[in-house]
Amino acid sequence: MSRSRDLRKRRGFSQVKMQMLTGIDQSDYSKIETGKRSMSFEQCKRIALALDTSMDYLAGLTDDPAPYPRAR
């Protein structure tokens, strides 16, 4: 999951900050970033929202990190 790590670093967020933003334990988040653990749909959604990107980008389905328009 290097895409989430790269975006996190570009945004200047630590893994602890990501824990605060997503509610995902820092050690679990670290395992997701290193590929030692897969993320659930809900975790992917939370990470995408915190990093202002799309779930498709995190999953490698698109190379465009821009988020989709949000539903109102």
pLDDT per residue as tens digits for the range 28-63 = 999 999 999 999 999 999 999 999 999 999 999 999
Judged against a pLDDT cut of 80, whether residue 1 lies above it is answered with no
> Which sequence spans correspond to the domains of the chain?
2-59
CATH number 1.10.260.40 is the correct assignment for the domain at 2-59: yes
Cα-Cα-Cα-Cα dihedral sign, residues 63, 51, 25, 12: positive
Which residue, 60, 25, 3, 48, is CA-closest to 15?
25
Rounded to two decimals, what is the model's pTM? 0.91
